[in-house]
Amino acid sequence: MSETASSSARRLGSGIVHITHRIEWGKNGYPSIPQEHTEGIARDARYWGLFQEMMKHNRNHSDAMLLTGHHADDQVETMLLRLSAGSSALGLAGTRRLRRWGMGSHCENGVGWYGEQGLDVWIGRPLLSVPKSRILDTCEANGLEYTIDPTNFQPDYALRNAIRDTLKVGVTDPFDPDFADRYIPSHASSLALINTLGQNFDPPISLATPVDNLRTIVTSLEQTLEQTEERIIAFLLEHATLDSQLGTATLPLSALQSLKDDEERKMLLYTITRYVSPAPWGDLRAELKRKKEKVKRLLEAVWEITPRAGQGPISITPGSGVLWKLRKGEWTVQRMMPPRQMTQIYTVDVTEKAREGGSILWDNRFSIRFLRPVHTNAKVLVRPSGPYFTPEVVIQDDGGHAILQLDTIRISFCRPLW
């Protein structure tokens, strides 16, 4: 595969640089060769390798973009895959054409972790409207070599492969006796769910729906998602108060009541929760894991609770480490205070970074940058402070703690709204 890519780069002329990055399992930060969950682990490893190469060749370490070759048929498969898991219309819209890379979804400094850098890097998918057949025809017409991964056509390898197989072979019922034993039981059950759950949408979706129609449906869902997101971002910029010092968002109850569409309401909940949550930005843990019961509970609280006269604050903790509090006609969304016995783990020794003049990401919410080296023999600590769980930097010595002067450090809330 690398030889084919290298040949194509040479044919396309100067300015196109081909780089081969090999995943060395068990070395250089990569895990050992996975024995299970191979598809997900291999995907994480590939993206992590791509990210490392991008950072190596991008001097500013920001505003870089990875363009991938995902196409219209990939979108159809993603839609059906998510449908089998019970996704709503927002989820069925498939993969985003443009999105932030995100902080990652694994332990800090391991494969799959990108931290604050991941917020300045983007992933673009310019071919999502183009069917795979047209891409192959273009390659053939222009003499461009391409490779085919044989595992993509093994139905037992992954549910996505089984979905791809049904579309290729024309299987409309995974339990049809004519296709007995073609799919493993777990895949057959998921494929059957597509036919069942797809009837809840307009137009209905099933394995019997022609592929061209499926492409049209997912394109329409994608456009609706983009329009919904644009409306919610505009709504928040107009009505919400975003406090970057405290990492909070405040929303007037009267403005929220103007939102009538359930999908718009869900999008607002996901967006605000992701903005405030201490979970990695871009990971589902920062968006209530998109769990229906959590979303339903929060929808009911925000849009159906009517405070009584003289009633005190109303609070709800739906998940993602976020607290929603209704008081005096406003919802304030803030980072939830962790249990007292866990607070100590958020006190971080940053002495080495302070002496070097480096920076750290704290609580996945705040970037702390030392503007110049701190010359001290004492410990430099970052610890939580106040009811909004914000960071303060202190110097600890035998005489106690002293808060570091603000002209030495810059503390900034680093989570973007979108």
Give residue-wise pLDDT tens across range 185-222: 999 999 999 999 999 999 999 999 999 999 999 999 99
* Mean pLDDT of the chain, nearest integer: 90
Alpha carbon distance, N-terminus to C-terminus of the chain: 35
Sequence-distant (≥ 6) Cβ neighbours of residue 316 within 8 angstroms: 297, 298, 301, 323, 324
Cα(89)–Cα(100) distance, rounded to whole angstroms? 21
State pLDDT tens for residues 26-68. Answer: 888 888 888 877 778 888 899 999 999 998 887 766 678 999 9
Query: Whole-model pTM above 0.85?
Result: yes
Pick the CATH number of 18-212 from 1.10.3470, 2.60.40, 3.40.50, 2.40.128: 3.40.50
Q: Which two tokens stand for residue 1?
A: 């595969």
Residue spans in the chain of domains classed CATH 3.40.50: 18-212
Q: CB count, 10 Å around CB of 397?
A: 11
Q: How confident is the model at residue 109 (pLDDT cuts 50, 70, 90)?
A: low
pLDDT at 377: 86
Cα(120)–Cα(128) distance, rounded to whole angstroms? 23
Q: Strand pairing of 122-124 and 65-67?
A: parallel
pLDDT at 336: 95
